[in-house]
Amino acid sequence: MRTRHKVIALAAAVSILAFGPAMAFAQQEQAQAATQVTVDLSGLDRGNHQEPLAQTGDEKQLLAASVAAAGAGATGLGLCIKRNQQ
Amino acid sequence: MDITRNMNGARALVVGAGLALALAMGAAPTPAMAAGRVGSTKVMVKTEIDNVNFKVPTVIPFIAKADGTLQGPSEDATTIDNLSAYGIHVTNMKIDAMNTWTIAADAKTGTAQNSIDFKVGPEGALQDASAAMQGTGIDLSKNATFDMGYQGIAGGSDKIKLKTSGNVARVTRDIFHVTGEGDQVATITWTVEPGAHTA
C-alpha cells in the first residue's frame, strides 16, 4: 500500500512539473480577455447603453482553472497507475 | 676606462629618466585624470506581459429585427480600453460559436438553422466572425487600426471603438424568452501585447 501511495504521489508531482512550466509560459506570452456575443428580440434601444467591461485581471481565473485541470489530470494518472498495479 | 662602470651609469641614467617621467606624469594633473576613472551604468526599462492592463466589453448584445438584421450597441458603448502607461495592440481575435449557433460568412445563404453572420472591429476595419473562427483566429498584429496609445493620451486613441453589424437566418432557438443579455451565440477572445503593430 505504501508503495502505491508513493507511486501516486510521484505521478502527481511529475504531472505538476510537466504542466506547470507550460502554463507559466502561456501566461507570459499573451494577455487575453473575452467578450460574449448575444442575440435576442429585446425592444429596448441599447444604443446608448454602456456595456460593462471585463478587465485583464480576470485571467487569474483561467490560471486557477488550468491548475485545477492539471491537478485532475495528475489524479487521473495516479488512479490509472494504481489500477494497473492491482 | 672602466666600461662596466660606464654601462651601469648609463643604465642608471635611463632608469632615472624613466622615474622622472613617471613622476612628472603623475604630478601633472590632466583634466581626465582629475575626474577619476570612469564607469558607466545603463538604465533600462521593460514590461512583462502580466503588467498589461486593458478592458474589453463583457458582452456585445445584438437585437434581431424581423428581417434578420442585427442591431448592435453603439460604438461608444463597446470599446477596448488601454489602462497601461504604454501603448498596446490587439494581435489576435478568435471567435468560438456557442450553443447551437452556426457562424457563417453569410447567414442568409445556405441551409443551416440558427445561422448568424456578424462583423466587429474599429471603423473601416470590421473583422468577419466566420474568418475569426478558422484556425487560431485572425492575426491583427500588422493592423494599425488595432493600436491603442497610452492611457489618457490626447485625442482618445487609448481606446478602440468597436462597430458591429450582422444578420441571423432560419432561427429555431427561442431568442425571445431568454433572460439577461440574450442567447449567447459566440465568445470573442482578444489577445493583446504591449507596443504598436509590427510593420
Q: What percent of chain B has pLDDT over 70?
A: 82
- The SS3 call for residue B70 is strand
* pLDDT, mean of residues B127-144: 95
The DSSP code for B69 is: B
Q: For residue B162, what pLDDT band results from cuts at 50, 70 and 90?
A: very high
Tell whether B175 lies on the interface with A, counting CB pairs under 8 A: yes
Q: Is residue B153 part of a domain?
A: yes
Q: What is the least distance, in Å, from the CA of B143 to any CA of chain A?
A: 17
**φ/ψ bin of A83: left (φ > 0), alpha (ψ from -120 to 50), beta (otherwise):** alpha
The domain in which residue B167 lies consists of 49-194
Tell whether B146 lies on the interface with A, counting CB pairs under 8 A: no
Q: What is the rounded CA–CA span in Å between residue A45 and residue B51? A: 37
Tally of structural domains, chain B: 1
A38: which chain B residues are within 8 Å (Cβ-Cβ)?
A: 59-62, 178, 180-185
C-alpha cell at B29: 594633473
pLDDT at residue B51 in the model? 84
Tell whether B174 lies on the interface with A, counting CB pairs under 8 A: no
Q: Which helix (H) or strand (E) holds A55?
A: strand A53-55
ipTM: 0.74
Outline where DSSP puts E strands in chain B. 54-57, 59-64, 70-71, 79-82, 88-97, 102-103, 115-121, 127-128, 138-139, 147-148, 159-161, 163-169, 183-194
The answer to whether residue B62 scores a pLDDT higher than 90 is: yes
pLDDT at residue A66 in the model? 47
Task: Average pLDDT across each block of 10 residues of chain A; the chain has 86 residues. List them in order.
Answer: 61 50 45 93 57 57 46 51 54
